[in-house]
Structure 1
Amino acid sequence: MVNPLLENQVFRRINVIKSTRNVLLTGLVAALSACGGDGGDPLSVTLLHMNDHHSHLDAETTTLKLPDASGATQSVTLPLGGFARVAAAIQEEAAGSKNVLKLHAGDALTGDLYFTQSDGEADAVAMNTVCFDAMAIGNHEFDSGDSGLAKFINFLHKDPAKCKTPVIAANIKTASSSPIAGKFSPFTLVERGGQKIGIVGITIANKTKNASRPDATTVIADEVTSAQQTIDALRLQGVNKIILLSHAGYEMDVKTLAPKLDGVDVIVGGDSHSLLGPDTLKAVGLTPEGPYATQLQDKSGQKVCIVQAWQYSYAIGKLNVDFDKYGNVSACNGQPMILVSDSYKDSKTGTSAASSTADAAAYTAALKQVGAFRFTTPLAATTTALKPFSDAKTALGAVKVGSANDNLCLRRVPGIGAKSDTTRSKLGDVCNKDATVVSQGGNIQQLVAQAFLDQGQRFGGADLSLQNGGGVRIDIAKGDITVGKVYELLPFKNVLVRISMTGQQVKDSLEDGVDSMLGNNGGTGSGAYPYTAGLRFDVDITKAKGSRISNLEIYKNSAWANFDLAGTYKVVTNDFTAGGGDNYLTLKGIDKSLKENTFLDYADSFLAYVKAKITLDKPAVSTYSTKTYKE
């Protein structure tokens, strides 16, 4: 953690300079940079990083398209990720590298029964088997308010003599009464090769304020302004090598932070769950969002290297960075490392996919040729540390409640454009390029909306339901559905709320969701996209707000009919959106007297739906809330 005295001195100095003339600051920073800061010698470092593991601590599986020994393409299922593989990969790669930095770009929490059971303790225990040099605060670290984040940091720092990972965020300001006050810093300083490196944390602002639950007194300030102030302060101390640990998303890293900041060298990102890597990934059924590393220029024309390492403990990133004697990046190179093992299964039968050792060798060779996979044996120490949590999770999560007859795909936003979230599905292109998913959105989001409508109708009545796409977290692959899978699908501690609304308010709420998805007016991004059951509509994002939603129809008396904007409807949604989360401002503005808390847990509601149905199929095309999507 940063020395508080140094931190106070840094910010006193920058405040004095800001109060006189900003040009003086610019001149001082430029002079220090030209002098080479505190180093004066070139330096090479290796960054080993991850992000957005969301309490996914166990290994999962993935299905890839791989050529067998004869050259025929097969659908092959193999183990994927798990935090014990993350820890092993980082340990092994660190052992063979110099000047290593181990970084976590945020969103450690929320997304699996591990979090439901332990409130983040399991995540902290796993992370401490790595002992990261810094962790950014992600928006989901606030899902249980400031107190929830404080509890997690306490778990993370339980044994500071062994490991005390600095938790950093330059754009978060708290009241002195906040449970997290004093538990995080704007930046941390590390020394490698005798030279100081500044690591600055950034948390996505609008999304955290509107799509999570920080305390009302906790301020999430502008990302660029906060980052630049902190970079300038560090440079005034002679630190000329700056890493931005950014939980702000790949798009913001590329389009906003890199080009608008002066003095940033590397951006290690998170939030958008972006798989970056070579185009060779497409051959096995994965489409990267961009290259690893993405290389751009900062405001002053210096090289900036941007990386991210996918999601859910599936991968780590390894970036080698060369700094010249002035602290500027002269070169960067590296690769994502998707963590797998060579246990191959036929995706249809579940039996061994390798009918011969030659087939297994062919699959392994194909993965190695991609240049983005790492065959990794889980670290025993991490597995042992997690065993008490794993045993407790297994006992609850293993209970089977139903089955899926087909893959139920995760997709927040239909389409193929920049806003369409096309790489989030862990099932890869079998979902990301599915025709119905592309045209109308996620199968699983639609089923969740239907489950909520069913529960609302059983308990007090409902005409339609509304669910934000980002509240649904995973695909449901074909096969068994367990309690654990349901809570992984819907991991947040939400309840269903019934609201009495006019038809116009319903339409306005849909407009709010699409506008927020587009990032307008403090919008939170793809997670805000609306899914409804009992209501369907056309979407045209090329139009202005107020005209994007049209041709609304309601399902009534076993048929679709025109939706009456002057009518009154009972709408079931979750308490997050009902309170204005994801910028559903129309819902927020509805009088409390028209809102009824059903006290129905939203994960339990889907659990009841699965138990009642026993088997789940893809929704009928006619029931999707998005009839058409124009971009």
Structure 2
Amino acid sequence: MFKQERVHRKVLRKVKKQFVTVTVLGGLVGLGAQAVSAQEEVENQSTESATTDKLAPEEANDQTHEEALVELEAQVTPNNKSEVEEVTPLTEADTVDTQAVSTLTEEINEEAETDKEKASNQEETKPVENKDNKEKKKYRRATIMHTNDFHGRLSAKGDSRYDLGFAHVKTLADKYRELADEFIMVDAGDTIHGTNETNLSEGKNAIDLLNKLGYKAFVPGNHEFNYGLDRLLELTNNEENTFKTISSNVEYKDTGKQVFDSFVEWEVFGRKIGIFGITAQDTPTTTHPKNVEDIRFTDEIEATKKQVEQLSEQFSHLVALTHVGHNIDKKIAQAVPELDVIIGGHSHTPVIGGEMVGNTLVSQAWEYGKMIGLAHLDFDEDGNLVKKTAETITLEENFELKDNRGKQENILDVLPSSTVGNTDDIKRETVKEDPEVKAMLDKFKASLDEKLNEVIGESSVDLNGARDAVRKRETNLANFVADAIREFSGADISLINGGSIRTSLASGELTVGSVIEVLPFINTVETINIPGREIKDALEHSVRLLPEEQNGGFLQISGMKVAVDLTRPVGDRIVGVSVGDEPLDLDRTYAVASSDFTLAGGDGYDMFTKYEIANVSGELFSDAVINHIKAQKGPINPKVDGRITISDKALTDSDLQELGFTRLGAKAADQPAEGASEQATEQPTQEEQANNAKAQDSQDTQKATDKTAEARSTEKEALVEEKLQEENEQKKAGVRLPDTATGAWALGLIGLTSLVSGLGTKKFARKD
């Protein structure tokens, strides 16, 4: 390299600083060497050898270097010379060898012979090439395949474009196990609970699959505790498990002893890697409090610092397997830079291709098996970690994402396969389900069918879940469901969207399957704390379409009574509300239980999204109702008890009193004067103005959210496009100019293409 630069400088002197000539000759002599990639050190040797061959006189198509120089000098125009006169002259410091040969021809020939001899010596020691002429790679790869937040989705849905299911995951795992020098699988939690496939076996089906696929480590997420701590320990302490359950920040309250093992060891290429677990500190608010009443969860960052301090002497590299959410993962990476990799879960974040925070690689693989993550650790021959990269694999090239609260927002509209780690063009039609895992899943289904037929109780009356009933008025089945959700959650009231109830049931035996027919959605019970005025606004939203239209967002209720006056304008129809035996206090805070769907703004209930979720139980609606039926002594006999009164006639104060209500927010006399109603409509009252302002504020907030999501989408798409361009440029055949080259280099080369071709320099072009 240095000798070629010396030739460049001496050519400058020979042609009296004529810049274009220097450019061309520089391209002639150094073109091959400059094609070397800075990241592929092994290619330097082969390209140098190629350069030497091209410089040898006998390879120059019978044209000597002296003749070439004369021809080059003859092609320099007066314009070119005038431009070169402005170039700053070289100083003595720029000269590499002060003992220059007297003539340029002798110097070039001497350099060519020397380089040829050097290349000949290197040929004896360079790596042996295989039949495909591929050089021996100089690094070894250790790959961690990771999953998170399956939430019980063990099988791929037949009509789904998104989820893989464990049978597909097994096929992919086998493929990448062959490609990597070292390979393990880890899971970042929230896997063993969430659907009938897992819940009816209390998590055992999911544990069996983790063992079948050969997972090495598993960190418990918040919903792993949904079956209770005793059941979780029963599942995870099994000595036959292939994996170790690890979490270093969960301890018993009475003794301070850790509940789980802290870490697992992985040895690769003579190096020991420690993988430790961290579980979300807020787990007591995201599972039922009774499930974790005997244990505590310590601060995630402090626990990580403690683990790094304790494990650094034992391990050369550290990986944190977390279920804390992507934002906290990044905070951990900033606070504890000693970590090499963080593999996360909990926030359902698609971290495409990983994210570097300082020197820490942070990755997460979205949700429900829609993606599989790969973290690659590349080691050199001496066992040094030289590179960390990540991939994400999906079965679908184009898909829509939803945010982690279930709202249908497009985070990214398109993720091309090359940007999600589909380096081998993996697609659904080419990724077959592993037959053994598929057989396990089929067996689970057969067992599931048996459990669905389990008799859990009986009803002495028909249960009305008809669509045109539950979406417009109170029914006995809707009351029973709402009561079950309130009792399970312990909230003051429950609000259940009528659209979640899908069918009626005849009197007689009740089975697990019949309840699931009524409540087939994977809705879970959540609780928020909100003021009474927001409850009133939610009820107004519930009845806004009555009486004409059915409304899936019509709220079935428990723990309260409501009076609706349809003669009043939309937004002011709720005239009476009582919670228990007391009138609704607009300023008091109430605990409200509902579904994760509704509290995420489903059916237009945006007023709920302004408040933090107080408790995420993870309990399915169907499970809560099943347990409520089992708890009854004898047949159930729910009734329509008048908890929702809907009147198409104006309700007077006396009417409300007879119904047990005190008028809520009265704005006029019970019998308004003629024209008063019209006047009130034309000039909204103060409360109506406040409600309208709230509605506008909600709309503005939603628009801002949409705008932010759109901006993020645009930003991510730009990053994707940039990555694709970089990959394409790296794959293009051809020679790269020196990094210090300017536009003049390109102009010089373009002008002398024919000469370059004549000297055979086209052979320098590298072909991938």
Distance 1:130 1:321 in 2: 21
CA deviation after TM superposition for structure 1 residue 391, in Å: 0.9
Counterpart pick for 1:388 among 443, 446, 458: 443
Distance 2:427 2:229 in 1: 37
Which residue of structure 1 lines up, in the alignment, with residue 355 of structure 2?
294
Distance 2:250 2:286 in 1: 14
CA deviation after TM superposition for structure 1 residue 175, in Å: 5.2
Distance 2:466 2:391 in 1: 35
Counterpart pick for 2:250 among 172, 186, 198: 172
Distance 1:398 1:336, change over 3 A: farther
CA deviation after TM superposition for structure 1 residue 271, in Å: 0.7
Counterpart pick for 1:82 among 156, 165, 169: 165
Distance 2:622 2:170 in 1: 40
CA deviation after TM superposition for structure 1 residue 142, in Å: 0.9
Q: Residues 49 and 103 of structure 1 are in contact (CA less than 8 Å); yes or no, is this contact kept in structure 2?
A: yes
CA deviation after TM superposition for structure 1 residue 397, in Å: 6.4
Distance 2:385 2:575 in 1: 60
Counterpart pick for 1:219 among 296, 299, 304: 296
Distance 1:467 1:310, change over 3 A: farther
Distance 2:271 2:171 in 1: 28
Is the aligned partner of 1:187 residue 2:192? no
Describe the superposition over 1:161-193 as per-residue Cα deviations: whole angstroms up to 9, x where unpaired. xx4311001111125899xx8772111112111
Is the aligned partner of 1:267 residue 2:342? yes
Distance 2:243 2:451 in 1: 31
Distance 1:575 1:58, change over 3 A: closer
Distance 2:228 2:538 in 1: 30
Distance 2:397 2:595 in 1: 41
Matches within 5 A, 1:375-524: 375=428, 376-394=431-449, 455-456=481-482, 466=494, 489-490=521-522, 506-507=530-531
Distance 1:114 1:84 in 2: 14
Which residue of structure 2 lines up, in the alignment, with residue 198 of structure 1?
274
Distance 1:468 1:330 in 2: 55
5+ residue gaps, structure 1, are 1-40, 63-76, 278-291, 298-302, 343-364, 406-443, 500-504, 511-529, 538-553, 588-597, 613-621
Q: Residues 166 and 184 of structure 1 are in contact (CA less than 8 Å); yes or no, is this contact kept in structure 2?
A: no
CA deviation after TM superposition for structure 1 residue 276, in Å: 2.7
Counterpart of 1:205 in 2: which secondary structure? coil
Distance 1:210 1:52, change over 3 A: closer
Which residue of structure 1 lines up, in the alignment, with residue 181 of structure 2?
98
Distance 1:296 1:456, change over 3 A: closer
Which residue of structure 1 lines up, in the alignment, with residue 310 of structure 2?
233
Is the aligned partner of 1:319 residue 2:375? yes
Give the counterpart letter for 2:271 in structure 1.
Q
5+ residue gaps, structure 2, are 1-137, 399-414, 455-462, 503-512, 543-561, 567-571, 600-610, 630-635, 641-690, 705-768
Give the counterpart letter for 2:316 in structure 1.
N
Counterpart of 2:213 in 1: which secondary structure? coil
Is the aligned partner of 1:332 residue 2:377? no
Distance 1:626 1:234, change over 3 A: farther
Describe the superposition over 1:445-496 as per-residue Cα deviations: whole angstroms up to 9, x where unpaired. xx9xx996784489999x9954699xx9x9x9xxxx996587673466x7x9
Describe the superposition over 1:501-542 as per-residue Cα deviations: whole angstroms up to 9, x where unpaired. xxxx850797xxxxxxxxxxxxxxxxxxx99952559xxxxx
Matches within 5 A, 1:588-603: 601-602=624-625
Counterpart of 2:395 in 1: which secondary structure? strand
CA deviation after TM superposition for structure 1 residue 225, in Å: 0.3
Q: Residues 200 and 451 of structure 2 are in contact (CA less than 8 Å); yes or no, is this contact kept in structure 1?
A: no
Counterpart pick for 1:248 among 317, 324, 331: 324
Q: Residues 322 and 342 of structure 2 are in contact (CA less than 8 Å); yes or no, is this contact kept in structure 1?
A: yes
CA deviation after TM superposition for structure 1 residue 341, in Å: 11
Counterpart of 2:193 in 1: which secondary structure? coil
Q: Residues 209 and 220 of structure 1 are in contact (CA less than 8 Å); yes or no, is this contact kept in structure 2?
A: no
Distance 1:557 1:137 in 2: 50
Q: Which has the larger radius of gyration?
A: 2
CA deviation after TM superposition for structure 1 residue 369, in Å: 8.3
Matches within 5 A, 1:106-185: 106-154=189-237, 157=238, 160=240, 163-174=241-252, 184-185=260-261
Distance 1:452 1:506, change over 3 A: farther
Matches within 5 A, 1:46-61: 46-60=143-157
Give the TM-score normalised by the residue count of structure 2. Answer: 0.44
Counterpart of 2:531 in 1: which secondary structure? helix
Matches within 5 A, 1:36-47: 44-47=141-144
Give the TM-score normalised by the residue count of structure 1. Answer: 0.52
Distance 1:143 1:486 in 2: 23
RMSD of Structure 2 on Structure 1 (CA): 5.5
Is the aligned partner of 1:557 residue 2:640? no
Distance 1:194 1:326, change over 3 A: closer
CA deviation after TM superposition for structure 1 residue 383, in Å: 1.9
CA deviation after TM superposition for structure 1 residue 318, in Å: 1.7
Distance 1:507 1:183, change over 3 A: closer
Counterpart of 1:140 in 2: which secondary structure? helix
Distance 2:349 2:223 in 1: 16
CA deviation after TM superposition for structure 1 residue 221, in Å: 0.2
Q: Residues 481 and 625 of structure 2 are in contact (CA less than 8 Å); yes or no, is this contact kept in structure 1?
A: no
Counterpart of 1:198 in 2: which secondary structure? strand
Which residue of structure 2 lines up, in the alignment, with residue 5 of structure 1?
none
Distance 1:220 1:324 in 2: 39
Counterpart of 1:601 in 2: which secondary structure? helix
* Structure with larger RCO (C-alpha < 8 A, sep 6+): 1
Distance 2:381 2:466 in 1: 58
Which residue of structure 2 lines up, in the alignment, with residue 441 of structure 1?
none
Describe the superposition over 1:118-146 as per-residue Cα deviations: whole angstroms up to 9, x where unpaired. 00111011111112111111000111221
Q: Residues 490 and 603 of structure 1 are in contact (CA less than 8 Å); yes or no, is this contact kept in structure 2?
A: no
CA deviation after TM superposition for structure 1 residue 80, in Å: 3.6
Which residue of structure 2 lines up, in the alignment, with residue 276 of structure 1?
351
Distance 1:296 1:329, change over 3 A: farther
Counterpart of 1:137 in 2: which secondary structure? coil
Q: Residues 119 and 152 of structure 1 are in contact (CA less than 8 Å); yes or no, is this contact kept in structure 2?
A: no
Q: Residues 50 and 317 of structure 1 are in contact (CA less than 8 Å); yes or no, is this contact kept in structure 2?
A: yes
Q: Residues 192 and 203 of structure 2 are in contact (CA less than 8 Å); yes or no, is this contact kept in structure 1?
A: yes
Q: Which one has the bigger helix percentage?
A: 2
Give the counterpart letter for 1:557 in structure 2.
D
Give the counterpart letter for 1:305 in structure 2.
L
Distance 1:531 1:138 in 2: 36
CA deviation after TM superposition for structure 1 residue 261, in Å: 1.2
